[in-house]
Chains A and B, each alone.
Chain A
Amino acid sequence: MKNEEKHALSFSFSRWWAIVLKEFIQLKRDRATLGMIVGIPIMQLFLFGYAINTDPKHLPIAIVSADQSVFTRSFISAMKNTEYFRFEDKVRDEHSAKEALTTGLVQFVITIPVDFTRKMLRGEHPNLLIEADATDPTAIGNAAAAVIALAGSVIQRDYQGAAPVLSESPPTPPYGVVLHKLYNPEGITSYNIIPGLMGIILTMTLVMMTAVAITRERERGTMENLLAMPVKPFEVISGKLIPYIFIGLIQSTIIIVAARFLFHIPFLGNITVLFTMILLFIAGNLTLGITLSSFANNQMQAMQMTMFTIMPSFLLSGFLFPFKGMPVWAQTIGSVVPLTYFTRVVRGIMLKGSGWTELWPNVWPLLLFNVVVLTIGIKFYRKTLD
């Protein structure tokens, strides 16, 4: 065997570079994909960042009050101050209030019965009725809690001393509960959503694009040409991935910039730590894409497989719905999804300023995921046309 032929068996930088160049040129000519790279993060940022709010304010409410007193007025003005409610002044009687609730004109009806204040002062323990449209539990949750808390505090403030009966019945608990909303004291949804969005966008675009990029070569017949050339599978695969690493970094940067300047989300952690984790997550998604491409025969199948793998990421990773609130089986599935850990990592770095020590419980599962998927990918990557 001649010397130059021994050369052919080792990694060649120039062949690898040729693949990288080719991918960049092809990507440059693929307007649709380019649009997707920039379009998807921007669209999702706007939709998730501006449209979605799990703590909605200014919900329509009707008050049916048969008791006009200082207390009820003060109660209503306190409700106004919470900003959770928008009062439908036209609805005043019980009948029209019921109708308004059914048609969706209002989401809450508060009924203050006749002689409420008097009965209360007498210690008869009267009831305030709050009717809420519970077809959307998320929408009314916080607002309902606010009304209940309000009732107690208004009574305490306005009637302390004046009505000694009240301080005994209902009995005040002998302790106070203090809730500190840490990391996001105002409970702003976008603080939660925007950092989580980074993982969603990276998963969506990168898995699909790599899976498609490799099946496309197979579908168009150019893979046969590549295989007939003296190029190592590792050179082909790693070369093809380089542009997508850049794409992932661009998308992440768009989100970080938007988080900072558009949504004013605090960034407490270290940017280097964040980008290191982003690279690790990108690597995981790219290997997943390649692995999927080994099983797909054409671009359509690759696309379908991507959708299939992305679905649990979307729903079970804790991005949209609280992870701890899911049943155990769903949490188990969620624990296999890399996005679960990445979402925690990004939120941890941005909102809590976590460092490597705090992040480690979420870092090793990501590392493990990369190793496992890479092993499967290498095992099934087709080096020949067999």
Chain B
Amino acid sequence: MSSGSINKDFAIDVRNLNKSFGDKHVVRDVSLQVAHGEIFGFLGPNGSGKTTSIRMMCGLLTPDSGEGTCLGYDIIKQSDEIKRHVGYMTQRFSMWEDLTIGENLDFVARMYAMPDRKQCVETTLKQLGLEERASQLAGALSGGWKQRMALAACMLHNPEVLLLDEPTAGVDPKARRDFWEELQQLAAKGISVLVSTHYMDEAERCHKLAYIFNGQLIAQGTAKEVIESQHISTFAVHGGDLAALSQELKGKPGVDQTITFGDTLHVSGKDEDTLKATLSGIAQDSRYKVQLIDTNLDDVFIHLLGTKGKQDEKANA
């Protein structure tokens, strides 16, 4: 390992990670850096390699090639140390459903050899607000509570890095908001968080983002940087029959994509002038109101998916 290229200032620093399962190349040359105290959003469609990448970062999978460190520990040779300092929350609830909440936390505390174990479990239960339900089976908890408990469990040993794999999938909006408030508090304390998600509102809360598609990182940076890097302009259209309009606009000059958000139609394209010319016809129709807006993350990611998908199709053809 050329230690010179690895920056110890980063909580996570991985370069050119590759992983194949059989003849499926799941992760290709993934490189990313997460700074201390940063919330790093990991985005991408299902099956794009998010979970595999996260598993490699915490030593659960051995990369086929590539190198990297997590808190300065080598992800290939020092996975034991990484495990002691990293909290990993699996995508699927992976606490023991036939143990009580208290037993689960106690087990985790023993695993990490926490000093003053009983106190530690009690404090966690108190913070969770689950003191009275400590003797309930974990399997009996609702989805939102399961997520909270899992987060508490992977925070129990005071890790410096949190790897969270779709922690809010299937959780109601209020629980999601609470969850993110907790994450932001943790980040403020200096804990680095790498979190994968499908929700754009969550992505917008991240300090930095990476978008992975077919195992490759295709965009990285702050939300603003990611949006600007794609150089697309977006017009919002209100009123009238948007579904019909969306169909009508497809394939017109300058129109790369149309997305409906409730009562608004986002029309985006790389070439702002051509797009403007195309839309000027519609702007004259009194039913519609057209205005230039800031491109948002949704527009960009759908754009990325579309263009990348087409490129891959061409490459395969």
A31 CB to nearest B CB, Å: 11
Q: Cβ of A177: which chain B residues have Cβ within 8 Å of it?
A: none
Q: Which residues B88-105 have CB closer than 8 A to chain A?
A: 88, 90, 92-99, 103
Contact A221 B99 (CB under 8 A): no
Contact B90 A228 (CB under 8 A): yes
**Segment touching A, from B30-38, B78-86, B243-251:** B78-86
Q: Cβ of A22: which chain B residues have Cβ within 8 Å of it?
A: 96, 99, 103, 107
Query: Out of A9, A222, A231, which one reaches B111, CB within 8 Å?
Result: A231
B245 CB to nearest A CB, Å: 45
B265 CB to nearest A CB, Å: 41
By the criterion of a CB under 8 Å from any partner CB, how many residues of chain A are at the interface? 28
Query: Out of B61, B90, B110, which one reaches A18, CB within 8 Å?
Result: B110
Contact flags A129-141 to B (C-beta < 8 A → 1, else 0): 0000000000000
B52 CB to nearest A CB, Å: 9
Contact flags A1-36 to B (C-beta < 8 A → 1, else 0): 100010011001011011001100110011000000
Contact A17 B110 (CB under 8 A): yes
Q: Cβ of A1: which chain B residues have Cβ within 8 Å of it?
A: 81
Q: Cβ of B112: which chain A residues have Cβ within 8 Å of it?
A: 229-230
B79 CB to nearest A CB, Å: 8
- Tell me if B's interface is mostly helix, strand, loop or mixed: loop
B125 located at the interface, meaning its Cβ lies under 8 Å from any Cβ of chain A in the complex: no
Contact B83 A228 (CB under 8 A): yes
Contact A229 B111 (CB under 8 A): yes
Contact A222 B80 (CB under 8 A): no
Q: Cβ of B99: which chain A residues have Cβ within 8 Å of it?
A: 22, 25-26
Assess A386 versus B62: contact at CB under 8 Å? Given A14-B113, A220-B97.
yes
A178 located at the interface, meaning its Cβ lies under 8 Å from any Cβ of chain B in the complex: no
CA distance A238 to B94 in the complex (A): 21
Contact A228 B60 (CB under 8 A): yes
Q: Cβ of B93: which chain A residues have Cβ within 8 Å of it?
A: 221
CA distance A221 to B93 in the complex (A): 7
B55 located at the interface, meaning its Cβ lies under 8 Å from any Cβ of chain A in the complex: yes
Residue of A nearest to B94 (CB): A225
B85 CB to nearest A CB, Å: 9
Contact A5 B84 (CB under 8 A): yes
B108 located at the interface, meaning its Cβ lies under 8 Å from any Cβ of chain A in the complex: yes
Query: Out of B92, B94, B98, B111, which one reaches A15, CB within 8 Å?
Result: B111
CA distance A228 to B99 in the complex (A): 19
B58 located at the interface, meaning its Cβ lies under 8 Å from any Cβ of chain A in the complex: yes
CA distance A84 to B62 in the complex (A): 70
A155 located at the interface, meaning its Cβ lies under 8 Å from any Cβ of chain B in the complex: no
CA distance A216 to B90 in the complex (A): 17
Contact B90 A221 (CB under 8 A): yes
Contact A8 B110 (CB under 8 A): no
A224 located at the interface, meaning its Cβ lies under 8 Å from any Cβ of chain B in the complex: yes
Assess A225 versus B83: contact at CB under 8 Å? Given A15-B110, A15-B113, A386-B61.
no
Q: Cβ of A225: which chain B residues have Cβ within 8 Å of it?
A: 90, 94-95
Contact A228 B88 (CB under 8 A): yes
A227 located at the interface, meaning its Cβ lies under 8 Å from any Cβ of chain B in the complex: yes
Contact A25 B94 (CB under 8 A): no
B51 CB to nearest A CB, Å: 10
Query: Out of A9, A25, A222, A386, which one reaches B95, CB within 8 Å?
Result: A222
Assess A224 versus B110: contact at CB under 8 Å? Given A8-B84, A9-B80, A230-B84.
no
Q: Which residues B26-63 have CB closer than 8 A to chain A?
A: 55, 58-62
CA distance A83 to B108 in the complex (A): 67
A364 CB to nearest B CB, Å: 38
Query: Out of B55, B58, B96, which one reaches A222, CB within 8 Å?
Result: B96
Contact B98 A230 (CB under 8 A): no
Residue of B nearest to A30 (CB): B98
CA distance A26 to B98 in the complex (A): 6
Contact A224 B113 (CB under 8 A): no
Q: Cβ of B103: which chain A residues have Cβ within 8 Å of it?
A: 22, 25
Contact B92 A221 (CB under 8 A): yes
A179 located at the interface, meaning its Cβ lies under 8 Å from any Cβ of chain B in the complex: no
Q: Cβ of A385: which chain B residues have Cβ within 8 Å of it?
A: 55, 60-61
B288 CB to nearest A CB, Å: 50
Assess A221 versus B111: contact at CB under 8 Å? Given A227-B60, A384-B61, A384-B62.
no
CA distance A229 to B108 in the complex (A): 8
A25 CB to nearest B CB, Å: 6
Contact A228 B95 (CB under 8 A): no
B236 CB to nearest A CB, Å: 42
A114 CB to nearest B CB, Å: 78
Residue of A nearest to B82 (CB): A230
Contact A26 B96 (CB under 8 A): yes
Q: Cβ of B107: which chain A residues have Cβ within 8 Å of it?
A: 18, 21-22
Contact A8 B62 (CB under 8 A): no
Q: Cβ of A386: which chain B residues have Cβ within 8 Å of it?
A: 61-62
Max chain A Cβ within 10 angstroms of own Cβ: one of B55, B62, B83, B94: B94
B210 CB to nearest A CB, Å: 21
B78 CB to nearest A CB, Å: 8
Q: Cβ of B97: which chain A residues have Cβ within 8 Å of it?
A: 220
Q: Cβ of B94: which chain A residues have Cβ within 8 Å of it?
A: 220-222, 224-225
Contact A8 B96 (CB under 8 A): no
Q: Cβ of A25: which chain B residues have Cβ within 8 Å of it?
A: 98-99, 103
Q: Cβ of A222: which chain B residues have Cβ within 8 Å of it?
A: 94-96
B125 CB to nearest A CB, Å: 18
CA distance A221 to B51 in the complex (A): 14
CA distance A12 to B83 in the complex (A): 15
Q: Cβ of A29: which chain B residues have Cβ within 8 Å of it?
A: 98
**Cross-chain pairs A/B with CB under 8 angstroms, 7 sampled:** A14-B110, A17-B110, A22-B96, A30-B98, A221-B92, A221-B93, A384-B59
- Beyond contacts A5-B81, A228-B90: 20 other A-B pairs, Cβ-Cβ < 8 A, are A8-B84, A14-B113, A18-B111, A21-B107, A25-B99, A26-B98, A220-B94, A221-B93, A221-B94, A222-B96, A225-B95, A228-B58, A228-B88, A229-B83, A229-B108, A384-B59, A384-B61, A385-B55, A385-B61, A386-B61
Binding site for B on A (CB under 8 A): 1, 5, 8-9, 12, 14-15, 17-18, 21-22, 25-26, 29-30, 220-222, 224-225, 227-231, 384-386
Binding site for A on B (CB under 8 A): 55, 58-62, 80-81, 83-84, 88, 90, 92-99, 103, 107-108, 110-113
Nearest 3 pairs of A and B residues by beta carbon: A18-B110, A225-B94, A230-B83
